[in-house]
Structure 1
Amino acid sequence: MALVVFAALGVWQVQRLHWKHALIARVDARIHAAPVALPADAALANASVSDPRTRDLEYLRVKLSGVYQGSATALVRAATDLGTGYWTMTPLRMDDGRQVWINRGFVPEGTSPAVAAATAPETRVAVSGLLRFTEPGGSLLQANRPQDDRWYSRDVAGLAAARRLGAVVPAFVDVQVEQAAQNPASALKPVPGLTQVHFPDNHLMYALTWFALAALSAFGLVYIWRRA
């Protein structure tokens, strides 16, 4: 019985390996493709990587334009290759009237929301970047605390409620390129383009482990049979 179970688990991990490699290839092609218009809100509602109807929207490269609402800027805890600090989340009122949260990039520890807000251009901006799904509730270790303006995840609905924005697009955009007719004179500028696209790929190791256990089980059965 154990031999069959271990072998089946090994085959399953091989299947998962092929699925994961296909996923990585699709996402890699997506993030290097020409940017497209931001999908409709209905297409993004309840979007999830586990839902085959919406998973291909994650990391979609999009383009949009509008005017930042700099005074509504919020800071979300971040750990990056540049160190610990914050993501600068600023809502953008798009040309079509929709509001969408934009992750304008990383600012270092000690930056205040007011200082981060001052970095947002006041003129119309054109943005291209990667579409991301909302992160409700908080991080694995800490819950968001809207009452204290402490954010540990990019929860677009929670941020919008805290800033009294009304309806927002149920997703956010990680900026890659931001273009404005006039940029603020602020010495601080959020660092964009730090999106980490990483998928754990341990399926080969798991498959080898299960097949090794199946082989040991087979050896044990042969040994017991010969002893009998």
Structure 2
Amino acid sequence: MRRLILPLFFGILGTVVLVSLGIWQLQRMAEKEAYLADIDARMSGAPTALPDAIDPVDDKYLPVVVSGTILSDEIHLLASTRDVGAVYRIVSVFETSDGRRILADRGWVKTEDKDATDRAPEAAELTGNLHWPEERDSFTPENDVQANIWFARDVDQMATQLNTEPVLLIVRETTEKNAPVTPLPIDKVGIPNDHLEYVITWFGLAIVWVAMTLYYLRRMRKTKKALET
């Protein structure tokens, strides 16, 4: 019996650890689903006027509609789309009818149209969502401001470069006629939710661990009986 205590201990310990990890991932999955539901609720609301005081946390994904003029100053962000491949996002200065200057992510153009000159100025009404993307990590190159090739939508840096408020509107709809830029609105596709896979993995490993522990204990008992006979 003493020989079975240690394998049984590790069998129980491993099972508890693996089941705990599975339960933790279930909790994380519930939190992520609640987070995504909150994003849905924020994004799908009726567009409102641009708030006077804007909070990057409380107003993230807020749907707004603004009227004014798209100005010629713009930033080009290297990006990609599933259907086209490499493209440039066009972030322009938008001056509202009451004189505020904000950033408008109008969408994408093909790489060969990066420096086209027919995109502004133009009066328009833009509908979209406020956003403060967190796209920079240790692998993201520094923005090449001189060449106007950016690799992340750093709102504060873009606002400083174009002399605007640190407010970015991701355009969903525009009243421009024959708009030269294709809108690339916010969606949830880029927000991963892989927790169900982790839940299945951890609980699956727990089942395997229990099965292997039982198999090992059974083998030990059979071996002991064989030696006794």
How is 1:1-228 mapped onto 2 (pairs within 5 angstroms)? 1-44=13-56, 47=57, 54=58, 57-70=59-72, 72-80=73-81, 81-113=83-115, 115=116, 117-123=117-123, 125-135=124-134, 140-163=139-162, 165=163, 168-179=164-175, 189-198=180-189, 199-226=191-218, 227=220
SS at match of 1:204: helix
Q: Percent identity?
A: 31
CA distance in 2, matches of 1:62, 1:178: 12
- Please tell me whether the aligned partners of residues 76 and 91 of structure 2 are also in contact (alpha carbons under 8 angstroms): yes
Cα-to-partner distance string for 1:23-64 (whole Å, 9 max, x where unaligned):
2233233323211233455512xx4xxxxxx4xx43321112
- CA distance change for structure 1 residues 207 and 84 in 2, over 3 Å: closer, same or farther? same
**Displacement of 1:177:** 1.5
Q: In 1, Cα distance between the equivalents of 2:141 and 2:30?
A: 34
The CA deviation at 1:188 is 6.8
**Structure 1 range deviating more: 198-207 or 89-98:** 89-98
Unaligned runs of 5+ in 1: 48-53
TM-score, with length taken from structure 2: 0.77
Cα distance in 2, alignment partners of residues 42 and 130 from structure 1 = 13
Q: Which segments of 5 or more consecutive residues in structure 2 lack a partner in the other structure? A: 1-12, 222-229
Pairwise CA distance, 1:136: 6.9
Secondary structure at the counterpart of residue 148 of structure 1: coil
Summarize deviations over 1:128-154 as a string: whole Å, max 9, x none. 102211457589442211133221122
**Residue-by-residue CA offset, 1:98-140 (whole Å, 9 max, x unaligned):** 3210011211111233x2x5312433x3211022114575894
For normalisation by structure 1, the TM-score amounts to: 0.77
Q: Which structure has the larger Rg?
A: 2
C-alpha distance in 1, partners of 2:122/2:179? 15
